[in-house]
Amino acid sequence: MTEVVAALIWREGRFLACQRPANKARGLLWEFVGGKVEPGETKQQALVRECREELDITVSVAEVFLEVTHTYPDLTVHLTVFHAEIAEGEPVLLEHNDMRWLLPDEVDSLPFCPADESILREISLRYGTKQVF
């Protein structure tokens, strides 16, 4: 099982979504910024590192939003999603193909990675004005 972390970053009622590069597994699907936890790192340290590497931002990591285990054909991930805030910088596309700020009611507007589907449902339930899925 691969430990993965992701950031649920909000700005003006919208959350940040990023599109994976075409040349990676699950290419061009959308996801939350984050990545694999390296040996010796805490999940929070990994999230700070990944946000810096992928978007050139420094985040402050808050509480866990949701944990999900998902099996893909090539790997099984245990994904921990944290609430996070941008403490420094503006997101810059260093790795991703695109990024968007989505309203909670727009969770079904883009094709997300399958591991993110339960996270999107929870965002819709907690913060949206209409029921999706």
- Note the pLDDT of residue 130: 64
Q: Is 10 left (phi over 0), alpha (psi -120 to 50) or beta?
A: beta
Note the pTM of the prediction, 2 decimals. 0.93
Question: What span, in angstroms and rounded, lies between the C-alpha atoms of 39 and 107?
Answer: 33
Note whether residue 27 is domain-resident. yes
- Note the pLDDT of residue 77: 96
Structural domains of the chain, count = 1
Note whether residue 70 is domain-resident. yes
Note whether residue 132 is domain-resident. no
Note whether residue 64 is domain-resident. yes
Is 60 exceeded by the pLDDT of residue 131? no
**Nearest residue to 34 (alpha-carbon basis) of 100, 67, 80:** 80
Residue 67 sits in a domain of what CATH number?
Answer: 3.90.79.10
Question: What span, in angstroms and rounded, lies between the C-alpha atoms of 124 and 12?
Answer: 16
Note whether residue 97 is domain-resident. yes
Question: What span, in angstroms and rounded, lies between the C-alpha atoms of 31 and 29?
Answer: 7
Note whether residue 104 is domain-resident. yes
Backbone angles phi, psi at 51, to 5 degrees: -65, -35
Question: What span, in angstroms and rounded, lies between the C-alpha atoms of 43 and 63?
Answer: 11
Note whether residue 103 is domain-resident. yes
Higher per-residue pLDDT: 118 or 131? 118
Note whether residue 83 is domain-resident. yes
Provide the domain limits for residue 94.
2-127
Token pair in block for residue 102: 């989505």
16-74 pLDDT per residue, tens = 999 999 988 898 999 999 999 999 999 999 999 999 999 999 999 999 999 999 999 99
What is the mean pLDDT of the segment spanning 99-115?
Answer: 95
